[in-house]
């Protein structure tokens, strides 16, 4: 993801015209004349060139080999202090990526349930929205080690899907989030309930350049339409900037075989203070 707030980035994109210099020191009379705003829109509207790679069977030898070559969404979340219940730490990820410890392959009850129900949830989602979202592995257009395994992506690449087969307690949280109309309030609730999933999704949006993610909760024990809850999640450019920087710093530690410091690993990102909410026309 390219930074849109630095003058060096602006220079690379062709520089700033002399008539726009005043806006860099907030001297414009109108907000829509601000060069940083115009430049940000210009960059965000650029077509991303993420790379799609063949889907690998989770748990296979090929899947494990691919995981060692970069950071997936779950691991990237740990770089900003947002791993599931704090279980995954940057130090642990570093040990696995450098081969200091062997990567353990296991499948617990919840993982097996999720694998079984994900195709069912995807079929129900596709029937509801009328478009296909096949699973896909993707790489960032600039960095091979920035990668993710998507539960689904629409053909136009503007929408991605993350599916969770929830137990009742978490499914109720999905239903509550789905009922919130205000995008910022909904995203703040997402950060409160599932910050680790929020960071995973932001990482996936960063890689793909998609406009929106559908965070899908599925519980087969609920009746009719309540089986499926769909929560719209939008990009957070500031947080995604931090995510990419942290992942790049961490991967440098992997390449240099120097573990990240305790201070570096203690870093955490807070709740959202901005989201990039596209118009409905871009995601319909």
DSSP, residue by residue, 25-57? TT--SSGGG-HHHHHHHHHHTSPP--EEE----
Q: Average the pLDDT over 124-152 and give the result.
A: 95
Task: With beta carbons less than 8 A apart as the criterion, state whether 153 and 160 touch.
Answer: yes
For residue 102, the model assigns a pLDDT of 73
pLDDT digits (tens, 9 = 90+) for 176-186: 999 999 999 99
Per-residue pLDDT reduced to its tens digit, 98-136: 988 876 665 666 767 768 889 999 999 999 999 999 999
Confidence bin at 171 (pLDDT 50/70/90)? very high
Residue-wise pLDDT tens digits, 184-217: 999 999 999 999 999 999 999 999 999 999 999 9
pLDDT at 67: 76
Residue 51 confidence (pLDDT) above 90:
no
All structural domains of the chain: 7-44 (no CATH), 51-282 (3.90.320.10)
Q: What is the pLDDT at residue 113?
A: 74
Rounded to the nearest integer, the mean pLDDT of the chain is: 82
Residue-wise pLDDT tens digits, 67-102:
789 999 999 999 999 987 668 899 999 999 998 887
- The fraction of the chain above a pLDDT of 90, given in percent, is 63
- Residue of higher predicted confidence among 38 and 160: 160
- Cα angle value 96/97/102 (rounded, 5°): 35
Output the six-digit token pair for 101: 């410890």
pTM: 0.79
In angstroms, the Cα distances linking 117 to 114, 175, 176, 228 are: 5, 18, 21, 12
């Amino acid at each position: 993801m390219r930074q849109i707030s630095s003058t060096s980035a602006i220079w690379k994109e062709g520089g700033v015209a002399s008539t726009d210099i005043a806006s860099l020191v907030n001297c414009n009379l109108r907000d829509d004349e601000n060069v940083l705003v115009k430049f940000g829109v210009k960059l965000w509207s650029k077509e991303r060139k993420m790379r799609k790679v063949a889907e690998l069977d989770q748990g296979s030898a090929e899947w494990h080999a691919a995981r060692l070559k970069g950071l997936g969404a779950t691991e990237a979340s740990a770089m900003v202090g947002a791993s599931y219940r704090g279980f995954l730490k940057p130090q642990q990820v570093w040990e696995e990526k450098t081969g200091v410890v062997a990567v353990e392959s296991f499948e617990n009850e919840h993982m097996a349930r999720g694998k079984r129900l994900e195709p069912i949830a995807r079929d129900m989602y596709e029937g509801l929205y009328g478009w296909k979202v096949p699973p896909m592995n993707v790489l960032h257009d600039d960095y091979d080690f920035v990668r993710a395994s998507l539960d689904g992506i629409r053909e136009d690449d503007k929408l991605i899907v993350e599916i969770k087969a929830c137990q009742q307690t978490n499914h109720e949280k999905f239903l509550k989030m789905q009922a919130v109309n205000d995008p910022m309030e909904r995203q703040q609730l997402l950060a409160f309930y599932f910050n680790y999933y929020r960071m995973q999704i932001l990482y996936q949006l960063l890689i793909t350049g998609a406009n929106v993610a559908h965070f899908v909760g599925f519980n087969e024990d609920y009746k009719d339409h309540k089986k499926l809850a769909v929560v719209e999640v939008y990009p957070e450019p500031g947080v995604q900037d931090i995510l990419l920087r942290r992942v790049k710093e961490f991967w440098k530690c992997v390449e240099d075989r120097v573990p990240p410091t305790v201070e570096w690993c203690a870093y955490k990102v807070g709740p959202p203070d901005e989201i990039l909410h596209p118009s409905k026309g871009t995601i319909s």
